[in-house]
């Protein structure tokens, strides 16, 4: 008789895999009596970082139903682990990119910009966290290989747990994260060229346990380099979100980053104008000028042959900058900030927008 113990244990969720431990083969032998229980819990790997929290949750769940509880923590055998990774992959082969499957429903969004410093990463992080806050299952892939900043912005600096060849992405503010920054020590620069870059981003898709996501946001490097092209090939159903400032010079370069997406087959989801204005008592002050967002949207509409809209304008915000420095996205730390309010408005549009259509024909002639 193990029903009472199993029902209690089914409420314990593995913090990395976000699934009940009863579904992960983590529950071993159970000795159940009316008032007492002894269970064996099998962790995925030796030194599992979630060991303590799992042990605590198991004890709490069982203590709610039994007077005497004994929990023995151990580790899965090699075969058990192989069985688990097979199950997590859904019986698909290793090295499989789930986002290209026909029935995959994840909205994949590339966040791109022409040049650096326009707030692309800060916005990507806030968009991801705001999406998760609205109940969406979100992954964030930091593909800005040379200028990775997602680990700092999300306050995570731990390598993913590896279960055989499957990487379990760290989770912060309910967003699953992967970044090259998790694999390099001491802020080392990454000096890679084309094929290595391609392999790295490919592994981020094939070797990471993303699970069923509603959204995968991809923080692209600024500009139109190798990574953007590789990812365009690896994620053909992605749509791109182009970030620009209102400044004319920024807009001109941002157009190019949207255009490269069109060339690799992505449709443009929209444009976000960041640092649009500085709110003041006497009305908005347009520090970086005006019109950049509209200019990019107009040009990308012409190039794509379908209407591209400015999805939102984010003001300059000291709070946004300060909260980014503290690794606490402003949509969480101060949701009343105008920048946070504007970000959440954009996120609601993203949720309402249908997924990109693969193979959609685009009126564009690569030059
Ligand atoms: P990118 O990813 O485009 O290189 P970042 O996200 O790193 O840009 O942002 C560049 C700098 O601008 C950071 O210091 C960030 O905190 C700041 N920043 C971004 N957006 C805003 C904004 N709306 N208001 C104030 N500071 C901002």
CB-ligand 1 contact for 272 (6 Å cutoff): no
Spatial distance between the Cα atoms of 32 and 39, rounded to a whole number of angstroms: 8
pLDDT value of position 295: 94
Position 192 confidence tier, pLDDT thresholds 50, 70, 90: low
pLDDT beyond 70 at 46: yes
- Which of 126-130, 183-187, 255-259, 324-328 is least confident? 183-187
| pLDDT tens-place string over residues 308-320 | 999 999 999 999 9
| Cα–ligand 1 centroid distance for 285 (angstroms) | 18
| pLDDT tens-place string over residues 61-72 | 999 999 999 999
Position 359 confidence tier, pLDDT thresholds 50, 70, 90: very low
| Cα–ligand 1 centroid distance for 324 (angstroms) | 8
Atom of ligand 1 nearest to the CA of 118: 3
What is the Cβ-side half-sphere exposure of residue 268, based on CA atoms within 13 angstroms? 36
Atom of ligand 1 nearest to the CA of 124: 6
Q: Answer whether 172's CB lies under 8 Å from 154's CB.
A: yes
CB-ligand 1 contact for 221 (6 Å cutoff): no
Best-predicted range by mean pLDDT (123-132, 180-189, 286-295): 123-132
Position 185 confidence tier, pLDDT thresholds 50, 70, 90: confident
pLDDT beyond 50 at 32: yes
| Cα–ligand 1 centroid distance for 43 (angstroms) | 40
When pLDDT is averaged across residues 282-287 and rounded to a whole number, the result is: 92
pLDDT value of position 224: 67
pLDDT value of position 187: 64
- Which of 140-149, 184-193, 233-242, 287-296 is least confident? 184-193
| Cα–ligand 1 centroid distance for 274 (angstroms) | 9
CB-ligand 1 contact for 116 (6 Å cutoff): yes
CB-ligand 1 contact for 140 (6 Å cutoff): no
| pLDDT tens-place string over residues 47-58 | 777 889 999 999
pLDDT value of position 335: 96
| pLDDT tens-place string over residues 203-259 | 999 999 999 999 999 999 887 677 888 888 899 889 999 999 999 888 888 888 788
pLDDT value of position 366: 43
Atom of ligand 1 nearest to the CA of 315: 23
pLDDT beyond 50 at 365: no
pLDDT beyond 70 at 360: no
When pLDDT is averaged across residues 326-341 and rounded to a whole number, the result is: 96
- Of the chain, the percentage scoring pLDDT greater than 90 comes to 63
CB-ligand 1 contact for 323 (6 Å cutoff): no
pLDDT value of position 284: 92
Q: Answer whether 74's CB lies under 8 Å from 43's CB.
A: yes
Burial of 26 (0-12, 13-18, 19+ CB in 10 A): buried
Ligand 1 pocket test: pick from 122, 242, 277, 337 the residue with the most ligand atoms within 8 Å of its Cβ: 122
CB-ligand 1 contact for 253 (6 Å cutoff): no
Does 188 or 23 have the greater pLDDT score?
23
pLDDT beyond 60 at 367: no
Position 189 confidence tier, pLDDT thresholds 50, 70, 90: low
pLDDT beyond 70 at 357: no
């Amino acid at each position: 008789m193990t029903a009472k113990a199993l029902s209690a244990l089914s409420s314990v969720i593995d913090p990395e895999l976000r699934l009940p431990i009863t579904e992960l083969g983590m529950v071993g032998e159970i000795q159940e009596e009316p008032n007492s229980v002894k269970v064996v819990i099998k962790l995925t790997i030796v030194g599992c970082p979630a060991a303590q929290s799992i042990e605590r949750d198991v004890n709490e769940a069982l203590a709610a139903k039994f007077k005497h509880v004994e929990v023995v923590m151990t580790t899965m055998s090699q075969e058990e682990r192989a069985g688990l990774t097979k199950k997590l992959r859904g019986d698909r082969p290793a090295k499989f990119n789930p986002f290209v499957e026909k029935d995959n429903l994840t909205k994949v969004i590339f966040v791109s910009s022409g040049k650096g410093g326009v707030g692309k990463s800060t916005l990507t992080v806030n968009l991801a966290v705001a999406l998760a806050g609205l109940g969406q299952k979100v992954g964030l892939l930091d593909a800005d290989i040379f200028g990775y900043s997602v680990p700092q912005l999300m306050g995570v600096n731990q390598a993913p747990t590896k279960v055989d060849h499957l990487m379990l992405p760290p989770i912060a503010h309910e967003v699953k994260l992967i970044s090259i920054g998790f694999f390099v020590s001491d802020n080392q620069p990454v000096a890679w060229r084309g094929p290595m870059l391609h392999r790295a981003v490919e592994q981020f898709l094939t070797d990471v346990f993303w699970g069923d996501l509603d959204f995968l946001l991809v923080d692209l490097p600024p500009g139109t380099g190798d990574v953007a092209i590789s990812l365009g090939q690896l994620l053909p159903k992605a749509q791109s979100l182009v970030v620009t400032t209102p400044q004319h010079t920024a807009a001109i370069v941002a157009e190019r980053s949207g255009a490269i997406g069109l060339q690799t087959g992505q449709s443009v989801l929209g444009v976000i104008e960041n640092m649009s204005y500085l709110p003041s008592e006497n009305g908005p002050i347009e520090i970086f000028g005006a019109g950049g967002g509209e200019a990019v949207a107009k040009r990308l509409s012409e190039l794509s042959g379908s209407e591209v809209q400015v999805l939102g304008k984010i003001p300059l915000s000291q709070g946004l900058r300060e909260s980014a420095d503290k690794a606490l996205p402003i949509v969480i730390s101060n949701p009343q900030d105008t920048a946070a309010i504007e970000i959440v408005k954009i996120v609601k549009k993203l949720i309402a927008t249908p997924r990109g259509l693969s193979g959609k024909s685009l009126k564009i002639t690569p030059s």
